Chain A
């Protein structure tokens, strides 16, 4: 296991050393104008567990203690996203908040991308789930990683931390006799538990109709935890309109993907170019402290793989890459 040898050990120092490259999309003059247009956010103190008491509040999801705190659902929280094409990127004439980095190619605002079937987690990985991994393996984590309520999305995880969790869960699901048959079959076919690619993530978030937010084209703070002071329990906001019934695809925490940051047009086959440049990995969905501009399904963030921040977490995918 990665954390047991010296090379895999983590420290708060490394997080401090690492530089958050920031949100690629925020760069640009349009960001300033949009920021001015947004309503001011008054930070509120977070004391212990924060559950959003709003009209859109959902029945809290249940988790299985006997299954590493995975969701108590037939597929342990994995949701199938059928194969097919979807529109990737942003058209500023439809979405005035779009950043330049979301433009598909010169002269073409969006691209159509075929994505094979995959599964994605309904919820972001929680503190309890990550803690089960840490307890099982002795993986060395940042002391802040396991802070927060058990059903909060785990944060202060680096990109390698997220992959280590995914690798561990895959091995557990392969060995576990109670793994749902559908998941077992996929794993036997060589599928992997990993992070979603950038395209998988965007398709899961916005569906095939090219919507701006996971629930539609208008902002909705009652459906996602953004423009607020802290993390909230996963699935605590009801969003019946959200594509594929996924929770927190907007806000709560930014989510690591398995795609290195590359300019569009998106092409998974060029991921190994520019090896001499510093690594920068795409994260999606915006965080609790972001404005609605960063809560859009097409927004592209990117960060140094070693950073650990309170607004960065991840969700899993089961995929055949």
Chain B
């Protein structure tokens, strides 16, 4: 008679596999061989520094070499110490679907977004370098503290997730390596007991993103990064919300994060709608949920190991993210900080609340009333039901114009009108929009900004700043800007020129450079530019 097999959980089986691998790999010889891996990673990092993309900037070269030097010194010191004490170190190969599937989904976002915003592709080699650095760093960190390093795809989602939201400009790229290192250090050292085991508190990428966001806000150094560009260029990719939604379904199906992402989105859609109904203007300027936030609620806040496990806990966690982003957007705007940090700052705070949420949920579930009503539904089936609800919600949001497509806030005349009517935050948003367009070389927007800073009605008067904007408008061949530069008190205005319209009417991302003049003015008329309507009428 066959002996009865002891039933074992998946976790136990994984633990056993890991133990077997560690046992077979633990020998002085394998330790030496193991060290060849971080050494080759370091060599690869140096080799990458000779790529033309890196060679074009001396700071970038020094950043690569600096990172490689740190890794090399670390492994020499560690290897020497291990040799002296005859201690061994092991590599344990283990592929986890949450790593490689997440990485594949994140990579798809880079590929699609980069197709429409080329700096992403231009950044590809720097992304590769970060992955190489991350592997070596993570390996050395693990071997400095314990015997084995689990070799899988773990660093990929951390690097991708970080870079989907923030990367430093070439002249400051060494800070990117520091940011990556901080993420891994946070994962290794900031831990707590949860469900009986020691676990890291923070989502590694969200931890470093949050920490660096705070520092960048406090030092007013956001322009060292591509943060603002990253946040605003996602919409250059057509149907980005639909694209992210489809990718999100993959993650939701495999990792049951539907309640987190879905609740966060529902809360944000709901609060946006409430605000819009109460104030008459959109909350997030030109969208109900900014595309970068939509990305964040799918791929940043949803790390299963740093979020609650129970359905109610996930719901609370997701709602917390929605509320956090909504509140932080207002706070950041009020203090004059870039609002794109909203989606990044909320995550570490939520990670810290996980144990509290778990305790709260446990207490609720154990109340006599709920204990009696508890349904015994398989988690997978429950997740499918949640996905179905999420699909319905997204379809409704899309059908009512709350995702891709034209949005009320896309129209500058709408904000002009709202500002004149004294609607909440409308003047601030108007100035912000003009700042963005002026930055994109819309001469009309620069002249308008100059006028705002000259008359001091919607922003504090600042003549020097006003002259700066007039000067820029003038150099962009906007005659009113030149006349205002000559006589600032004259306050000359003019309607946007054709090139201005091609920038002002993009609705977040569409490239209008090839659009015919007739179509352009028709579109401008649809955006409530009255001069354009007159022109369309006179031409027909």
Q: Which of A4, A6, A272, A304 contacts B477 (CB 8 A)?
A: A304
A residues sitting closer than 8 Å to B (CB atoms) are 1-8, 14, 18, 158-160, 163-164, 167, 194, 258, 260, 271-272, 274-281, 304-306
Instruction: Given A276-B495, A276-B497, A279-B474, check contact A5 B464 (CB 8 Å).
Output: yes
Which of A160, A260, A306 is the most central at the interface, judged by chain B CB atoms within 10 Å of its CB? A160
Instruction: Given A159-B482, A260-B482, A305-B482, check contact A8 B468 (CB 8 Å).
Output: yes
How many A-B contacts if CB must be within 8 Å?
Answer: 82
Chain B: interface size category: 20 to 34
- State A163–B486 Cα separation when bound (angstroms): 7
The reply on B140 being an interface residue by CB < 8 A is no
Q: Is the CB of A1 within 8 A of B464?
A: yes
Which residues in window 433-485 of B have CB below 8 A to A?
Answer: 438-439, 446, 449, 464-465, 467-472, 474-483, 485
**B216 nearest CB across to chain A (Å):** 17
Q: Is the CB of A279 within 8 A of B477?
A: yes
Which residues does chain A contribute within 8 Å of B471, judged by CB atoms? 2, 7-8, 160, 163-164
Q: Knowing that A7-B468, A7-B469 are A-B contacts, what are 6 other residue pairs whose CB atoms are under 8 Å apart, sorted by A's residue number?
A: A5-B468, A7-B449, A7-B472, A18-B477, A160-B482, A279-B482
The reply on B494 being an interface residue by CB < 8 A is yes
Q: Is the CB of A2 within 8 A of B467?
A: yes
Which residues does chain B contribute within 8 Å of A2, judged by CB atoms? 464, 467-468, 471
Which residues does chain A contribute within 8 Å of B482, judged by CB atoms? 159-160, 260, 279, 281, 305
A-B residue pairs, 8 tightest by C-beta? A306-B475, A8-B468, A160-B471, A7-B468, A275-B494, A279-B479, A278-B477, A279-B477
Q: Is the CB of A18 within 8 A of B449?
A: no
* 16 A-B interface contacts by CB (under 8 A): A1-B464, A6-B439, A7-B446, A7-B449, A7-B468, A8-B467, A8-B472, A18-B475, A159-B474, A160-B475, A163-B471, A167-B467, A275-B479, A276-B494, A278-B479, A281-B482
Q: Which of A5, A272, A280 contacts B465 (CB 8 A)?
A: A5
- State A3–B465 Cα separation when bound (angstroms): 9
Q: Residue of A at shortest CB range from B531? A: A276
**A263 nearest CB across to chain B (Å):** 15
**B511 nearest CB across to chain A (Å):** 19
Q: Residue of B at shortest CB range from A278? A: B477
Q: Residue of A at shortest CB range from B488? A: A167
Q: Is the CB of A275 within 8 A of B474?
A: no
The reply on B492 being an interface residue by CB < 8 A is yes
**B169 nearest CB across to chain A (Å):** 15
- State A277–B439 Cα separation when bound (angstroms): 22
Which of B474, B476, B482 is the most central at the interface, judged by chain A CB atoms within 10 Å of its CB? B482
Which residues does chain A contribute within 8 Å of B476, judged by CB atoms? 306
- State A279–B481 Cα separation when bound (angstroms): 9
A-facing mask of B410-452, CB < 8 A → 1, else 0? Answer: 0000000000000000000000000000110000001001000
Which residues does chain B contribute within 8 Å of A8, judged by CB atoms? 467-468, 471-472
Which residues does chain A contribute within 8 Å of B481, judged by CB atoms? 279
Which residues does chain B contribute within 8 Å of A160, judged by CB atoms? 470-471, 474-475, 482, 485
Q: Is the CB of A194 within 8 A of B494?
A: no
Which residues does chain B contribute within 8 Å of A159, judged by CB atoms? 474, 482
Q: Residue of A at shortest CB range from B472? A: A7
**B496 nearest CB across to chain A (Å):** 9
**B121 nearest CB across to chain A (Å):** 22
Which residues does chain B contribute within 8 Å of A277, judged by CB atoms? 479
Instruction: Given A7-B446, A194-B486, check contact A158 B479 (CB 8 Å).
Output: no
- State A152–B449 Cα separation when bound (angstroms): 36
Q: Is the CB of B483 within 8 A of A271?
A: yes
- State A201–B304 Cα separation when bound (angstroms): 75
Q: Residue of A at shortest CB range from B496? A: A276
Which residues does chain A contribute within 8 Å of B467, judged by CB atoms? 2, 8, 164, 167
**A180 nearest CB across to chain B (Å):** 25
Q: Is the CB of A14 within 8 A of B479?
A: no
Which residues does chain B contribute within 8 Å of A258, judged by CB atoms? 486
- State A6–B435 Cα separation when bound (angstroms): 11
- State A231–B41 Cα separation when bound (angstroms): 57
- State A5–B465 Cα separation when bound (angstroms): 7
- State A273–B470 Cα separation when bound (angstroms): 18
Which residues does chain B contribute within 8 Å of A279, judged by CB atoms? 474, 477-479, 481-482
Which residues does chain B contribute within 8 Å of A5, judged by CB atoms? 464-465, 468
**A39 nearest CB across to chain B (Å):** 37
- State A18–B475 Cα separation when bound (angstroms): 8
- State A179–B470 Cα separation when bound (angstroms): 29
Q: Is the CB of B492 within 8 A of A275?
A: yes
Q: Residue of B at shortest CB range from A274? A: B479
Which residues does chain A contribute within 8 Å of B438, judged by CB atoms? 7
**B489 nearest CB across to chain A (Å):** 12
Q: Residue of B at shortest CB range from A3? A: B468
A-facing mask of B234-274, CB < 8 A → 1, else 0? Answer: 00000000000000000000000000000000000000000
- State A272–B486 Cα separation when bound (angstroms): 12
Which residues does chain A contribute within 8 Å of B492, judged by CB atoms? 272, 275
Q: Is the CB of A272 within 8 A of B472?
A: no
- State A126–B497 Cα separation when bound (angstroms): 36
Which of A281, A304, A305 is the most central at the interface, judged by chain B CB atoms within 10 Å of its CB? A305
- State A3–B373 Cα separation when bound (angstroms): 69
